[in-house]
């Protein structure tokens, strides 16, 4: 069987302005395997370092964002690289497994539908998780709405399927908060501005379902006896948390995100109004829950009016429409309105204003 990714392909492209089908021939993209390998290896190193810091925190029963732990431990990692390899592996391999599954879901469907696409590009970064994620680039037209739908939904499904067992193992390995970490969490829940508080994560519905199921079956694990917010999260549970958040962001219905491709494939006329509706929902979320939603609203705004041109016919079959409903359920299970606690734009501006007022009042004293 010939390798369709290395041979020129003929595409029948729908031109919406002329309302006609054009025939184009696309040459296969040049493969730069060394770039993909280099980025993957660099991302493996950065996530190993961050994972090692998380595992150190977990082993010492410290809070997730404890001030006693350096969460950008690059110098320490170079000095203790053997420990980094062992301590950081659970988080790093779990997170990269979820991200790789997501991107390979897209890539494999591109190969099966004879659509040219790059291999995944991983993005190493000095962030709290060691990466900014991964992506592939599609280099040729998509032949039908069915192909667009299959390519768009394959990534979230593949990533979700890997993230669920990672989440289950990570939550079963987590422990109940004790000591100073429990006191800091309680102080934050009572007053978000408490001086001795800590940053609390928000959790998706699927994490809460895992707690309810564990309690219902009488599990002896900590997740059955305490809410997720009351746990020392195992690094694999943190990797699953990141994976669920990434899945929900990709499934946002609009723009050029996976959710936008799904909406366009289900009904092209829905794409623009649904993108606008998503923006209108994200704006109040950015004010009250998480300022980061404003960035995603901007992304949808600038990509909501554009979409790859695909033939309008034939429409999707019933099976794919059922999968679209499943994608909506996945979004409901994984979305986190306030990923980092009460960090809405309104609160951020209010806190900054109070801080400036306090600084101005200090000389008067």
| Tens-place pLDDT, residues 68-103 | 556 667 777 777 777 778 889 999 999 999 999 999
The conformation of residue 257, written as its DSSP 8-state character, comes to S
Domain extent listing, the chain? 11-360
Specify whether the CB–CB gap between 237 and 229 falls below 8 A. Answer: no
With 0-12 CB in 10 A as exposed, 13-18 as middle and 19+ as buried, what is 270?
middle
Position of tokens 């659509």?
A: 115
- pLDDT level of residue 120 (50, 70, 90 thresholds): very high
The conformation of residue 290, written as its DSSP 8-state character, comes to B
Measure the CA–CA gap between 331 and 328, rounded to whole angstroms.
Answer: 5
Both structure tokens of 15: 């031109």
Average pLDDT over residues 335-347: 90
pLDDT at 197: 47
pLDDT, averaged across the chain: 86
Both structure tokens of 207: 């994490």
Residues 6-29: tens digit of each pLDDT: 666 766 666 666 666 676 777 777
pLDDT at 298: 94
Average pLDDT over residues 199-211: 91
Both structure tokens of 161: 């399927």
* C-alpha distances in Å from residue 47, one per residue of 51, 89, 209: 6, 9, 28
pLDDT at 341: 81
Residue 243 has pLDDT above 60, yes or no: yes
Residue 320 has pLDDT above 80, yes or no: yes
Least confident of 36-40, 55-59, 155-159, 265-269: 55-59
pLDDT at 31: 84
Helices 271-288, 292-303: inter-axial angle, 10-degree rounding = 160
Average pLDDT over residues 139-156: 94
* C-alpha distances in Å from residue 69, one per residue of 16, 233, 338: 56, 15, 24
Give the residue from 72, 75, 77 showing the smallest Cα distance to 87: 77
**Beta-bridge partner residues of 11:** 24
- Helix, strand, coil % over all residues of the chain, rounded to 5: 60, 10, 30
Give the residue from 9, 244, 289, 241 showing the smallest Cα distance to 128: 241
pLDDT at 161: 98
């Amino acid at each position: 069987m010939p390798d369709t990714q290395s041979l020129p392909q003929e595409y029948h492209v729908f031109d919406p302005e002329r309302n006609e089908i054009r025939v184009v021939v696309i040459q296969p993209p040049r493969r730069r395997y060394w770039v993909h390998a280099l980025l993957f290896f660099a991302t493996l190193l950065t996530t190993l370092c961050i994972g090692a810091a998380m595992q150190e925190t977990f082993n010492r029963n410290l809070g997730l964002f404890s001030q006693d732990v350096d969460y950008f431990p690059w110098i320490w990692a170079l000095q203790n690289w053997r420990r980094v390899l062992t301590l950081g592996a659970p988080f790093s391999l779990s997170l990269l497994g979820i991200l790789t599954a997501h991107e390979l879901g897209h890539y494999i469907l591109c190969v099966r539908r004879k659509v040219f696409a790059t291999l995944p590009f991983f993005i190493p970064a000095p962030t709290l998780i060691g990466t900014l994620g991964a992506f592939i680039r599609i280099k040729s037209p998509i032949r039908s709405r069915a192909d667009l739908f299959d390519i768009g939904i394959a990534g979230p499904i593949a990533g979700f399927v890997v993230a669920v067992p990672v989440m289950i193992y990570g939550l079963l390995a987590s422990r109940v908060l004790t000591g100073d970490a429990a006191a800091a969490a309680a102080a934050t829940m009572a007053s978000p501005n408490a001086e001795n508080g800590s940053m609390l994560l928000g959790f998706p519905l699927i994490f809460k379902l895992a707690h309810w199921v564990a309690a219902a079956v009488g599990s002896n694990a900590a997740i059955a006896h305490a809410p997720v917010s009351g746990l020392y999260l195992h690094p694999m549970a943190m990797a699953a948390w990141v994976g669920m958040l990434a899945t929900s962001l990709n499934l946002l219905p609009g723009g050029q995100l996976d959710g936008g491709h799904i909406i366009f494939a289900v009904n092209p006329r829905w794409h623009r109004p649904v993108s606008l509706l998503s923006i209108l929902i994200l704006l109040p979320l950015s004010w009250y829950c998480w300022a980061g939603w404003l960035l995603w609203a901007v992304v949808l705004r600038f990509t909501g009016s554009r979409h790859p041109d695909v033939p309008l016919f034939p429409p999707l079959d019933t099976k794919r429409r059922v999968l679209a409903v499943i994608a909506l359920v996945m979004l409901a299970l994984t979305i986190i309105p306030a990923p980092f606690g009460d960090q809405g734009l309104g609160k951020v501006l209010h806190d900054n204003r109070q801080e400036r007022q306090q600084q101005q009042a200090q000389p008067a004293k």
